[in-house]
Amino acid sequence: MNQLETSSHGAACKQLWEALSEVGVPTHLIRLIRSLYYDQEATVRTRYGDTERFKIKRVPDKDASSFLFNLYAKVILRKLDLDDLSIGVEICGRTISNLRYSDDTTLLAESEKDLKNLILKLKEESKKMELFLNIKKTKIINITNKKVHIKINNEETELVDSFVFLGSLIDHSGGSTAEIKCRLAPGHAAMVSMDQIWKCKDHQTKAYHCHCVPNHNIWL
């Protein structure tokens, strides 16, 4: 799993307008979005007071404008030409090379070499769009017993046994046992925390009489 990030000042406007055009956003809508940032000024409020006003030269990052950031990632993956690379994992007759959600991009490959190739190409194309691959937040999981060592710019990516993707626990075994245990754990913990209540015989409770009255449905 890789995480893309903008620079500390957000995304560059020029690249964003080009990305919107590439995904088919109508020109009049691009102009409307550009007008939101054109010749705009801002100030930052601190505990010492407000800073001097300054021009906005870059659009906000994913935390302030997640939709625009998602378009960025979509355009980058289009430029990778993943279909021509023939890299990925075959699922139901289709080769899947990536899963994307917001700024998290999961790359799939059958070998260490292919995976490193994907990461390097993603890093290269991201840099052209002024997005940067955060190696420290990049995790690798291997569905085999073989150890994987991938270095990007002399930084070794972390090999993990499991990670959470879209709320589901993915582990190196490729099964669902860990996910099931993870789902059951909160319920079990809640029941254990109420153990004294279940076993206590001194609590006073109200008894309710339930009556079931037979009824018939008539269809006309």
**Residue 109 placed within a domain:** yes
**Residue 156 placed within a domain:** yes
**Residue 23 placed within a domain:** no
Q: CA angle at residue 183 from 178 to 184, to 5 degrees?
A: 100
**Residue 188 placed within a domain:** no
Q: Which residues are within 8 A (CB) of 75 and not within 5 positions of it... i.e. 6 or more apart?
A: 19, 22, 23, 129
**Residue 93 placed within a domain:** yes
Percentage of the chain modeled with pLDDT above 70: 79
Helix, strand, or coil (residue 146): coil
- Rounded distance between C-alpha atoms, residue 191 and residue 201, angstroms: 17
- Rounded distance between C-alpha atoms, residue 163 and residue 141, angstroms: 8
**Residue 146 placed within a domain:** yes
pLDDT in tens, 200-220: 777 676 666 666 666 655 554
Q: For residue 9, what pLDDT is reported?
A: 43
- Rounded distance between C-alpha atoms, residue 18 and residue 214, angstroms: 69
Residue 137, classified by CB atoms within 10 Å of its CB into exposed (0-12), middle (13-18) or buried (19+), is middle
Residue 61, pLDDT above cutoff 80: no
**Residue 129 placed within a domain:** yes
For residue 138, the enclosing domain spans: 2-11+64-160
**Phi first, then psi: what are they for 146, rounded to 5°?**
-80, 135
pTM metric for this prediction: 0.60
**Residue 35 placed within a domain:** no
Please give the structure tokens belonging to residue 123: 């890093």
- Rounded distance between C-alpha atoms, residue 168 and residue 182, angstroms: 9
Total number of domains constituting the chain: 1
